Structure 1
Amino acid sequence: MANGPALLHERRVLAVAADHPLAGAESVSLEVLADHPVVQYPAVTSAAFKRDRTPDRTPSGRPVPQGPAGTTFSEMLALVAMGRGVLPVGEQTRHYHARPDLAYVPIRDAPPIRRGPVWLASNTTTRVREFVRAAVDANPAPVP
């Protein structure tokens, strides 16, 4: 896979079931991941992406228990809603996946999620490079 420049930075939030003890928290620390199973991305997801989104350890080194894996993002959120685990996600998830059975709690000490274009490295053509350049030119400077 080839990665283009980040076009968007968004805060991380923790998806939890609406009735989860953390659901009403103003914010949480990444350290809380050691206290709850974390729903996992499908096995086909790259190792780097998984490490970024669902780390094996907290910043202080505590192990993060792995929860069940979903095969799609919607399935992962369903597992969270059923109380099977928690899931760090981007802040925009609360808008695009608003559900009454989920709550999204800001993670105060997490780095932002960086989003940008991704494509097959074997398909790096002039057209792809021009598209990425146009996206960068059309995008205001991303907020870190």
Structure 2
Amino acid sequence: MNARILLIDDDPQLLGLMADAFTRAGFEAFSANDGAVGAKLARAHDPHLVVTDILMPEREGIEIIVEFKRAPRPPKVIAISGVSRLAGLDLLALATAVGADEIVNKPFRMSDLVELAERMLREDPLIGTCASEGVCEASAPPP
């Protein structure tokens, strides 16, 4: 799969593991250690899918999800978090409410995350040809 994926997490070890796993699976992976850097990389690389942590320095994942989903061609988003509740607020439910397509609790198996991303891209009518043709290019929606 030749899809562009943006990985955003403030844990350098997890970020490296995710980048390695997605690169081995054939993705073109870009990594950011906080939401501010992630937003810049998204503008530069127009990812098909974003995996973002929720709690991070600079800009948090919720803010990033809202920004990405306002884009003319929003990427698919997987929100990940090791903290499910903060001050009585369900963070992953909030991520879904603001536009995350999928949510994943930490810890998770890397193979499960990669499989989820592959399935999401295959099912997307605008980029579903990534899996079948091995090339991801933005296409217009059918008339």
Which fold has the larger relative contact order, with Cα–Cα distance below 8 Å and residues 6 or more apart in sequence? 1
Between Structure 1 and Structure 2, the one with more helix by share is: 2
Higher alpha-carbon Rg? 1
| TM-score, with structure 2 as normaliser | 0.34
| TM-score, with structure 1 as normaliser | 0.34
